């Protein structure tokens, strides 16, 4: 199975899950993925969902064989703005040692790495004592709405596995792979304020009413102290601080604060007390304003006091924080701080807890850790070191991948997350790409990892 050839074909299927206009692309990507799984030696089941089906590829065997779940998603982000692509998003090309096109890095390329590795391994070791469930979904880019019901329906089968291995997280560079140990959770809400029953002329009524824009920005400003601490009572309750080994691992990251500032194009970073800018996005919770609106937004001016305004707010959560508790505290703070003269409506948007998994041999490693999971971590470290020439670093990631927490909650399974895209991959942006040399090394690492996990049995 030729990785480059297969990825070029896979990316040609415009599998944008959020837009029904791309249903043919979704169907084509799904059929191509099924073909890949079959050619790798797996039995394939297409599981219907209310939106886009989930694919299951299985390799069965005796109960004493280890059982690994591999994960990926065949859907991709929209390609807009189309005019910023060097070459068309769904006409992939090889250029400068990379494959360019939408979905190359997120996530068709990374899970194709695992498929190719598995195909090569099973061709060489047809008697390999390893059970596989390869799960590829089609709704990750729209929040995986069908995934919780699927997990509940297949809980018995999936719970029997030992661990999940996936590549849907980042590494700092193509020669320094990261194994992600934690993902921040997220909760979201939209706060809507209403003042007068209709927009007012600011000359006729200005000074008589509480301008909803003024009320909104005052509320928003009150949610942080000047040092960027979240100013909501109890917001930090339960926060679990990182272990010393985690801070030590993060210091291996080939990025310092000066480089980070340059990358972001800002003169200064603004972390809350207790963390630096590099640590803040991995170890600390946040409250962020993602959108704000109200009043006239067109060209020129319009002297109006708006009737309605809004702010879109999300909080990133770290281990120990309860999503429902945070939503309640933030909502109550907004309502309490709203002045007389405006009413508040709050719509809850989303919510999931943070995720943390500890590798073996650390002071905070669970004593009852699944032995296959522990071996998968250890063998991943060795396999990556062998393929890439240096061992991986074990770091938390600032983003959220809700399905990882969903899998643990429903099945009890923990995940080994191997990062196979980098800042140069242009994730969710024009000119998305995947470095071919990195993918080839990753195929070698995956093949070694799966073989060694199989040889260790379930002890």
Indicate if 175 and 195 belong to the same structural domain.
no
How far is it, in rounded angstroms, from Cα 434 to Cα 81?
19
SS3 159: helix
Indicate if 322 and 411 belong to the same structural domain.
no
Q: Is residue 248 part of a domain?
A: no
Indicate if 50 and 163 belong to the same structural domain.
yes
Indicate if 212 and 167 belong to the same structural domain.
no
Q: Is residue 18 part of a domain?
A: yes
Indicate if 167 and 152 belong to the same structural domain.
yes
How far is it, in rounded angstroms, from Cα 361 to Cα 188?
36
pTM comes to 0.91
The CATH number of whichever domain residue 211 belongs to comes to 3.30.70.360
Q: Is residue 268 part of a domain?
A: no
Q: Is residue 249 part of a domain?
A: no
Q: Is residue 179 part of a domain?
A: yes
For residue 25, the model assigns a pLDDT of 98
Domain count, the chain: 2
For residue 457, the model assigns a pLDDT of 87
Indicate if 329 and 401 belong to the same structural domain.
no
What are 233-253's pLDDT values in tens digits? Answer: 999 999 999 999 999 999 999
Indicate if 17 and 95 belong to the same structural domain.
yes
SS3 173: strand
Q: Is residue 222 part of a domain?
A: yes
Q: Is residue 79 part of a domain?
A: yes
What are 330-342's pLDDT values in tens digits? Answer: 999 999 999 999 9
Token representation of residue 254: 């080939």
The last residue of one of the domains, among 303, 333, 350, is: 350
Indicate if 332 and 406 belong to the same structural domain.
no
The CATH number of whichever domain residue 90 belongs to comes to 3.40.630.10
Nearest to 69 by CA among 110, 33, 124, 114: 114
Helix (H) or strand (E) holding 64: none
Indicate if 208 and 343 belong to the same structural domain.
yes
How far is it, in rounded angstroms, from Cα 319 to Cα 239?
6
The last residue of one of the domains, among 302, 332, 350, is: 350
Indicate if 149 and 191 belong to the same structural domain.
no
Domain ranges, residue 127: 3-183+355-455
Show the low-confidence residues of the chain (pLDDT under 50): none
Indicate if 28 and 12 belong to the same structural domain.
yes
For residue 400, the model assigns a pLDDT of 84
Indicate if 86 and 197 belong to the same structural domain.
no
Cβ proximity of 24 and 142 under 8 Å: no
The last residue of one of the domains, among 333, 350, 367, is: 350
Q: Is residue 160 part of a domain?
A: yes
Cβ proximity of 418 and 384 under 8 Å: yes
Token representation of residue 70: 């591999």
């Amino acid at each position: 199975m030729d990785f480059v050839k297969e990825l070029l074909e896979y990316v040609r299927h415009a599998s944008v899950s959020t837009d029904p206009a791309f249903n043919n692309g979704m169907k084509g990507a799904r059929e191509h993925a099924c073909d890949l799984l079959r050619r790798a030696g797996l039995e394939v089941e297409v599981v219907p969902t209310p939106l886009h089906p989930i694919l299951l590829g299985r390799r069965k065997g005796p109960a004493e064989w280890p059982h690994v779940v591999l994960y990926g998603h065949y859907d991709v982000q929209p390609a807009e703005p189309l005019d910023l692509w060097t070459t068309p998003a769904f006409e992939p090309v090889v250029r400068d040692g990379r494959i360019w096109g939408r979905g190359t890095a997120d996530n068709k390329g990374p899970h194709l790495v695992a498929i190719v590795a598995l195909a090569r391994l099973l061709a060489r070791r047809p008697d390999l004592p390893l059970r596989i469930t390869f799960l590829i979904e089609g709704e990750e880019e729209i929040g995986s709405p069908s995934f919780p019901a699927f997990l509940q329906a297949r809980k018995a089968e999936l719970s029997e596995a030992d661990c999940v291995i996936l590549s849907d997280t980042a590494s700092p560079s193509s020669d320094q792979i990261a194994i992600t140990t934690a993902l921040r959770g997220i909760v979201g809400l939209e706060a809507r304020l209403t003042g007068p029953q209709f927009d007012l002329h600011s000359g006729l009524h200005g000074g008589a009413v509480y301008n909803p824009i003024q009320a909104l920005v005052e509320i928003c400003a009150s949610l942080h102290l000047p040092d960027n601490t979240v100013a909501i009572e109890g917001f930090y309750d339960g926060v679990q601080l990182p272990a010393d080994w985690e801070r030590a691992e993060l210091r291996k990251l080939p990025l310092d604060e000066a480089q980070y500032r340059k990358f972001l194009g800002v003169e200064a970073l603004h972390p809350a007390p207790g963390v630096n800018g590099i640590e803040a996005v991995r170890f600390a919770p946040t409250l962020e304003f993602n959108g704000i609106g109200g009043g006239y937004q067109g060209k020129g001016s319009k002297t109006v006091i708006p009737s309605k305004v809004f702010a879109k707010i999300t909080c990133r959560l770290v281990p120990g924080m309860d999503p429902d508790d945070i939503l309640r505290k933030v909502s109550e703070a907004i309502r309490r701080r709203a002045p007389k003269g405006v009413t508040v409506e709050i719509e809850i948007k989303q919510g999931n807890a943070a995720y943390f998994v500890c590798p073996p041999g650390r002071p905070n490693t669970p004593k009852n850790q699944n032995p296959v999971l522990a071996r998968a971590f250890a063998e991943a470290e060795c396999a990556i070191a062998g393929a890439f020439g240096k061992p991986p670093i074990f770091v938390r990631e600032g983003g959220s991948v809700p399905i990882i927490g969903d899998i643990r909650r429903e099945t009890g399974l923990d995940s080994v997350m191997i990062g196979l895209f980098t800042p140069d991959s242009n994730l969710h942006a024009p000119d998305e790409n995947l470095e071919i040399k990195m993918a080839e090394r990753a195929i070698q690492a995956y093949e070694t990892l799966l073989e060694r996990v199989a040889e260790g049995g379930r002890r």
